Structure 1
Amino acid sequence: MLTIQQLQDIEQLQKECEIHDHVQLKLNWEMLRDRKTDPLDFFHYENGELIAFLGLYAFGSTVEVCGMVKPSERRKGHFGRLFHLAMEKVNSNGYKKILLNAPGVSDAAKFFLNKQGAEYAFSEHQMEWRETPLEETNDVLLRLATEKDYEMSVRLSVTAFGLDEDDAREMESHHFADNTDILMIDVNEETVGKLRVSREEGQAWIYGFSILPEYQGRGIGKKALRQVVKEQSSAGFTVHLEVETKNDHALRLYESVGFKAIHVQDYYRYECS
């Protein structure tokens, strides 16, 4: 579990890097605040100041890697040392797939990734909802998930995201923080989809939005999206989500509701030797 001081230090360094580089880092704060006993975070301090940070974020057998270095302390090997320690942890934990994450416009990150021999895999748009009139929806119900929804949640993760069943079951067993809601999407008293909403510092992020294949193309996803956006916006949150850049169908859906792309995150595959 990370200490309050460590979390504050990470946040301060993130702000400094984002302002200097004009980027948005993806540090998965929802997971950072809910760390358990397994150490997945790596720090380099000098004179009590956090100089470099790297975090591992496990999603079943896949692990994502993201980190940062104080702008004035780059090219001194700090991040390379943390990366080496992190890869030792990745090996010991037996993750099958490693994805290194970096802002699409970060030249420093690309320099490091190329040096490691990482190969570009895909990119994601980080999108923000811009106020748009939203129609009322009455025939789609969003409700909080219960333990009875476990098997359906696993099925949705397998069919919508292509996860293998073991990974899906591990991810669905994860306990999220109190600022996160798991919502099931019901139509005519039948569950056909799900999504997750995480709220942090005035922002609401939508994750894991999925509809069973046999119910896609009926406008259900659009209605559910309009409903959750309206609820979070009315509660005073700005609303955000992520979508893979080559997923044209999802991209058009989100744009039709009022989302605009504001940042790009690049993902690179890495083979740990």
Structure 2
Amino acid sequence: MKNEQLEDIRILQQECEREGFTLKLNWETLRSRNGVNKNDFLHYDGLKLVGFLGLYDFGNKAEMCGMVHPDYRRQGIFTKLLEEAIRSAVERNYKVILLNSPAQSHSGTEFLKQLPCEFAFSEFQMKWSETELGDYDDAVVRPSRRDDEETEIQLDIQCFHFTKQEAKDYYQRILYEDTLKTMMIEKGGRAVGKIRVDHSGREAWIYGFSILPKYQGKGLGRKALKKVVAEQGQLGYEIFLEVEATNEHALRLYESCGFKTIQRQDYYQYKG
């Protein structure tokens, strides 16, 4: 995407967020679009961007989030953008299409009520508040290597229910994202987990955190998470992550490490 378009999106986001909510536009992804597929749908009034919808690929599912300038609503702009994005997602054979709206956005919630979709889940966006993390010195966390490919793929299959092909495609897609760093978690000299950190400005976003099922429940993930959080904090980053509200175990883990909920995003599955 061109820098001019990114700036237009940023300005439009600021206008929309004056209503008191935060849009999840995945800026690290927007900045690294490769142009292979059309994932960004824009509507201009002359030189002014007044509508935007982004499509985000997550293996077998597509997530969509967008916005329309408050002065241009109820003119069918977002409906047109959504119809184009849905057609693209259907052509690319996604199994699940999710539409995202901030919980605090009245206009977004009301719009979704008019569509053939149903509420799927809520996701909490959490921010780390500096806190004493305790013992994590024996956690072994190192940068991912190319020979970790199969382990990364298996983690996405076993922990996030990707198919083999979806996991392979996803691995290849994120391999060359400049802002992304994948860390492998070791036990006894073997990689058994991963945690990804994506940097955007002075923010560090944690995602893809997973441990192979046979190694779960042993405190390994907690120590690895603490170690990564401590390192990012020492580098001066504000640290964020996202977790589904239904994942109570993960939610308790993050809270125990000093993360606090700052926003809620609601997801609706498209049924059209």
Residue 23 of structure 2 aligns with which residue?
A: 25
Q: Provide TM-score, normalisation by structure 1.
A: 0.95
How far, CA to CA, are the matches of 1:92 and 1:162 in structure 2? 22
Report deviation, 1:176. 4.2
User: In the aligned structure 1, how far is the partner of 2:140 from the partner of 2:163?
Assistant: 28
Question: Are the equivalent residues in 2 in contact too, given 1:139–1:188 (CA < 8 A)?
Answer: no
> Contact (CA 8 Å) 1:56, 1:64: kept in 2 or not?
yes
For residues 82 and 162 of structure 1, the distance between their equivalents in structure 2, rounded to whole angstroms, comes to: 30
Matched residue, 1:229: 229
Between the aligned partners of 2:129 and 2:183, the Cα distance in structure 1 is 23
How far apart are the structure 2 equivalents of 1:124 and 1:142? 27
- Residue 28 of structure 2 aligns to a residue whose secondary structure is helix
> 1:64-213 counterparts in 2 under 5 A?
64-174=63-173, 175-213=175-213
Question: What is the distance in 2 between the residues matched to 1:105 and 1:246?
Answer: 19
What stretches of structure 1 move > 4 A for 4+ residues in a row?
none
Equivalent pairs: percent with the same residue?
46
Gaps of 5+ in 1: none
**Residue range with higher mean Cα deviation, 35-44 or 200-209:** 35-44
Q: Please report the TM-score for the alignment, with normalisation by the length of structure 2.
A: 0.96
Does the aligned pair in 1 maintain the 2:179–2:200 contact within 8 Å? yes
Q: 113-122 or 156-165: which moved more?
A: 156-165
Q: Is the 8 A contact 1:42 1:82 kept in 2?
A: yes
Aligned-residue CA RMSD (Å): 1.2
Query: Counterpart of 1:116 in 2: which secondary structure?
Result: coil
Contact 1:54 1:82 (8 Å CA) reproduced: yes
Q: By how many angstroms is 1:138 displaced?
A: 2.4
CA–CA separation in structure 1 for the residues paired with 2:60 and 2:193: 23
8 A contact 1:139–1:187 mirrored in 2: no
Q: Does the 8 A contact of 1:34 with 1:176 survive in 2?
A: no
Q: C-alpha offsets along residues 232-252 of structure 1, whole Å, 9 cap, x if unaligned?
A: 111111100011101111011
Cα shift at 1:187: 2.1
> Once the 2 structures are TM-superposed, how far is the Cα of residue 136 of structure 1 from its aligned partner?
4.2
Match of 1:265 in 2: 265
Displacement after TM superposition at 1:26 (Å)? 0.9
Q: What is the one-letter code of the residue matched to 1:87?
A: I
1:207 is displaced (CA, Å) by: 0.5
- C-alpha separation between the residues in 1 aligned to 2:177 and 2:158? 26
Q: Which amino acid counterpart does residue 219 of structure 2 have in structure 1? A: G
Q: For residues 142-190 of structure 1, what are the alpha-carbon distances to aligned partners after superposition, in whole Å with 9 as ceiling and x for unaligned? A: 1111110011011111111122222111111113422210110112211
* Structure 2 unmatched runs, 5+: none
Residue in 2 aligned with 1:247? 247
